[in-house]
Homo-oligomer: A and B are copies of this chain.
Amino acid sequence: MEKDFKGLADQYKTALLDDVLPFWERHAIDWEQGGYFTCLDRAGKVYDTDKFIWLQNRQVWLFSMLCNQFEKRENWLNIAANGANFLAKHGRDADGNWYFALDRAGNPLVQPYNIFSDCFAAMAFSKYALASGEDWAKDVALQAYNNVLRRKDNPKGHYNKTYPGTRPLKSLAVPMILANLSLEMEWLLPSDQLEDILSATVQEVMGAFLDRDRGLMYENVAPDGSHVDCFEGRLINPGHGIEAMWFIMDIANRHNDTATIHQAVDVVLNILNFAWDAEYGGLYYFMDAEGHPPHQLEWDQKLWWVHLESLVALAMGYRLTGREACWEWYQKLHDYAWSHFADPEYGEWFGYLDRRGEVLLNLKGGKWKGCFHVPRALYLCWQQFEALEQKSC
């Protein structure tokens, strides 16, 4: 592959603006009852109307973000508003905690059993407030943000099944989501609060969760950062580790911290080496650090978001460091992702392939795949290559 940054920027921009966004605009908006449909078959036909809060909020975020960062299109703002109004009305319980799922009309189906719904709500309403200028949306964002801060030390509350004390573990997801979220809330937070959170996150992630010997990111470690020999303690989630690394690069870049950027790139390359399926191509979904059988039966499947986050991490890593290893891996991932996940026939990307790269679920959206990872990664890759193109001019 030639280093045709302009061509790549165009490829991502076209895919985003002419394929992926129109797919969701056409099929996913519930203009009648509010919010979005996310269970869409290959062609975009709705096969289930339940509304999953993560995905609802992520779609509000996506369209608002594009209004803020790319172009304030009226139909995008209307789409964001269609979700935001529905969610503000139906998304929370009496204490302001965000449910996990609603039915089509907005009646609650699944209780607020973790803080990720609140996270995505804070991100969504922060960006929507910025895009729409609606003051009430700011309040919704800040309330959700405070829920996360309040609940972060016990994210599942009374739904937590872990017996306290026997085997304490901390999870990579918590600092990662906090950093990401705080960046999304930047314009609403005092700047010293944000910088404190970002610095603490870099230290926690690169200190406690990164195994320095192996260069791998662990999902769960003991409170002192040591490894625990159990299923959760041995778990490697390659896509999550790689996604975490581009967040870290992004933060380190704000701080002009070149050493941390290079360290994050090293980790991305290590994870790719560890998780690449030499036989069939693609990255595994879950792995056991010691090579034991993972208990996740879907461990060898190839998931869209894992590959898209890797494209972002490699494009960003290459932009920030110019390291050839990033470019080499980028090409490998690009070839795999564009030839396996993208669906030129019906639009958008498949989400779930089996180990061999064949379509496992013939869908474009479901309970966990919505309008988020594909357009976000297309947007971010477009930005990386546009910057690379400008640098090289």
Contacts and interface: CB of A to CB of B under 8 A. Distances in A.
A361 B293 contact: yes
A295 B161 contact: no
Contact of A363 (B166, B293, B352): B293
Nearest to A368: B295
A158 B161 contact: no
A7 B269 CA distance: 56
A100 interface: yes
Contacts of A229: 48
Interface of A is mostly: loop
A124 to B, nearest CB: 21
Nearest to A285: B297
A159 interface: yes
A102 B292 CA distance: 20
B293 A41 contact: yes
Contact of A367 (B99, B231, B363, B366): B231
A215 interface: no
Contact of A301 (B41, B294, B297): B297
23 contacts: A47-B292, A47-B293, A48-B229, A50-B230, A50-B231, A103-B166, A107-B166, A108-B163, A108-B166, A109-B162, A109-B163, A111-B163, A158-B158, A159-B159, A293-B361, A293-B366, A295-B367, A297-B297, A297-B298, A297-B301, A297-B361, A298-B298, A300-B354
